Structure 1
Amino acid sequence: MEKTELPPRPPLFDFQGVSMSHYFTDNWEKIQNFQARPDDILIATYPKAGTTWVSYILDLLYFGQTAPERQTSIPIYERVPFLESDFEIHPPGTELADKLTTSPRLIKTHLPVQFVPKSFWEQNCRVVYVARNAKDNVVSYFHFDNMNLAQPEPGDWNHFLQRFMDGKMVFGPWYDHVTNWWEKKQTHSKIHYMFYEDMIEDMGRELDRLCSFLGLSPSAEEKERVRGGSQFDNMKNNKMANYSTDSVMDFKISPFMRKGWLR
């Protein structure tokens, strides 16, 4: 029988030089042996840097018109599987990704660049990376860790902030993550590196740049539909986008989406 609740919060431990929890390493062999396809699109971020936002935008760009029922019937975490996740109450991310019938497959990861399965590079897959400034990232991460029962116990704010500055976070230091992915971009032409703050400043411009990278030419009407659908209030009130259907999240503590794209 499928489990309905998670065991106690996991401890942090060192995994190949990076702080991790077992929910992202238990399935390690299958993660590393995951077979990417040439048209896969990998959405990569440090946690709480706009992953769901960009995942939703990409899903709307590719499937908003051809398969609109996805938006009202399939949670975003099933449309865009979390590759390295193995939360016990859900199928592993690798399994969900393998079962996707869409083309392209949209897959998300928080892995540091050195942990990404080699098949993504061998297949020359497109990667969309999103970076967010450290100040807002750590605030969002703190609130997220309080309500996400699959994360280590966050402790109080001062303790959490010190951990963040020390790099003792699940998926490692923020600085290493964003800079190592930036360096990878210099040698892998199919990485589109976005900034969260640029998306807030001018979504139209960033959407145009993203579409150019993906080789898409949506009409003005289609772009407006994507912009409207991915607005914060619309996503926060959308059960298929706001994670309210995921029992890993405790909405009695905090909603997954809190105060808009600034937090």
Structure 2
Amino acid sequence: MSLNPEKAILSTRPELFDFHGVSMTHYFTDNWENVQNFQARPDDILIATYPKAGTTWVSQILDLLYFGQTCPERQNNIPIYERVPFLEIAIPSLDSGKDLADKLPTTPRLIKTHFPVQFVPKSFWEQNCRIVYVARNAKDNMVSYFHFDRMNAIQPEAGEWNNYFHRFLEGQLVFGSWYDHVNGWWKKKQNYSNIHYMFYEDMIEDTEREIDKLCSFLGLSRSAEERKMISGGVQFDKMKKNEMANYSTLPIMDFKISPFMRKGKVGDWKNHFTVAQNEVFDEDYKKKMKDPTLQFRTEI
């Protein structure tokens, strides 16, 4: 697949617009009907997250769990965005995420999305597919998304931090409100048992434990040795250096501004939030996070 022609197309950043009540850009809505008509299979696994919440991390873990033993060359030769296609993305001159997902040769097919729950193609529910949702605390998620928007040509300009901070609170970022996203998926879990809801902070705290839980959810039996090996292989510093996992082969991202994988820490928000911003944030958070059963940690 050729990666140069879109340079011209990506010379201007896309504009945000309201799409069925969610802030989006055309790169994620241009292929809307095809994506909505995507035919899921019962053994497909959907990885769903708000952007910058550990998507690539969980994608790599699942890829290793399923295919690490049988075809290890995958991880060395095929970039993660082809092994685990991004369902809704459509960049001119590149294969759309939907086409890549259709053509996946693996069983199961691993597919990722940043859609809020109401945008997920209905065939995933009809086929009772397993879905792994990863959520990250809002403060760190905001900081990570800010740096991502600074370096990614298919995202709107990040602008300066204080402005970005307020846009996050208002849900004026691609894929909409963090609050709506994490709450919407949490509610869905109450009546759809095939969602495994994970927390980024838990994965940082004990990756091996979280891999064990994933294996239970997926009905996989992997030896303790194998799980330990996978846990070691997906630690942040290793993945950051791994060209097949760190997105460095995609020219739409400018690593001179910021790497795709930046810090992978819990609590980096303290290096960005002012005292006043933190107070504004905490007040706003109390109003929007009404469900006492959904709890996040901003430090561990």
Q: TM-score range by the shorter chain?
A: over 0.9
Higher relative contact order (CA 8 A, sep 6+): 1
Shift of 1:4: 3.9
Indicate the percent of aligned positions where both proteins have the same amino acid: 73
**Map of 1:15 onto structure 2:** 19
CA deviation map 1:20-57 (0-9, x unaligned): 00000000010100000000000000000000000000
Amino acid at match of 1:107: I
- Select the residue among 127, 134, 158 that pairs with 1:130: 134
CA contact (8 A) 2:6 2:92 kept: no
Render the CA deviation track for 1:210-242: whole Å, top value 9, x for unaligned.
Answer: 100000010011101110110111101110000
Give the Cα–Cα distance (whole angstroms) in 1 for the partners of residues 151 and 94 of structure 2.
Answer: 18
Structure 2 Cα separation of the partners of residues 153 and 110 of structure 1: 19
Superposition TM-score, scaled by structure 1 size: 0.98
* 1:154-212 CA distance string (max 9 Å, x none): 11000101000011111010000000000000111100000011111111211111100
State the partner residue of 1:174: 178
Instruction: State the 1:261 CA deviation.
Output: 3.8
* Residue 253, structure 1, aligned to residue 261, structure 2: no
Q: 1:74 to 1:261 in 2, by over 3 A?
A: farther
The residue that corresponds to 2:207 in the other structure is: 203
> What is the letter of the counterpart of residue 211 of structure 2?
L
The aligned counterpart of 1:101 is 105
| Contact kept? 2:50, 2:175, Cα under 8 Å | yes
Residues 126 and 191, structure 1, Cα contact 8 Å, conserved in 2: yes
Q: Which structure's CA Rg is the greater one?
A: 2
Gap change, CA 1:129 and 1:248, over 3 Å in 2: same
Q: Is the 8 A contact 1:232 1:261 kept in 2?
A: no
CA RMSD of superposed structures (Å): 1.1
Secondary structure class of the residue paired with 1:42: strand
Is 1:227 the counterpart of 2:231? The answer is yes
CA offset at residue 89 of structure 1?
A: 4.0
Preserved contact between residue 211 and residue 217 of structure 1 (Cα < 8 Å): yes
Residue identity matched to 2:95? P
Residue 189 (structure 1) aligns with: 193
Change (3 A) 1:257 1:89: farther
Q: Structure 1: how far apart are the matches of 2:141 and 2:264?
A: 13
d(CA) in 2 for partners of 1:167, 1:116: 19
Structure 2 SS opposite 1:243: coil
3-state SS, counterpart of residue 163 of structure 1: helix
The correspondence for 2:5, drawn from 3, 6, 15, is: 3
Give 1:13-162 correspondences, 5 Å limit.
Answer: 13-162=17-166
Secondary structure in structure 1 of the residue aligned to 2:191:
coil
Contact 1:244 1:251 in 2 (8 A): yes
| Partner residue of 2:240 out of 236, 241, 248 | 236
- Matches of 1:90 and 1:81 in 2, distance apart? 12
- Aligned counterparts of 2:66 and 2:148: Cα–Cα separation in 1: 28
Runs of 4+ in 1 over 3 A off after TM superposition: none
Q: Secondary structure at the match of 1:186?
A: helix
TM-fit CA distance, 1:7: 3.6
**SS of the residue aligned with 1:193?**
strand
Q: One-letter code of the match for 1:38?
A: P
Tell me how far apart the structure 1 counterparts of residues 219 and 26 of structure 2 sit (CA, whole Å). 37
Separation of aligned partners in 2, 1:89 and 1:241: 22
User: Which AA in structure 1 matches 2:5?
Assistant: K
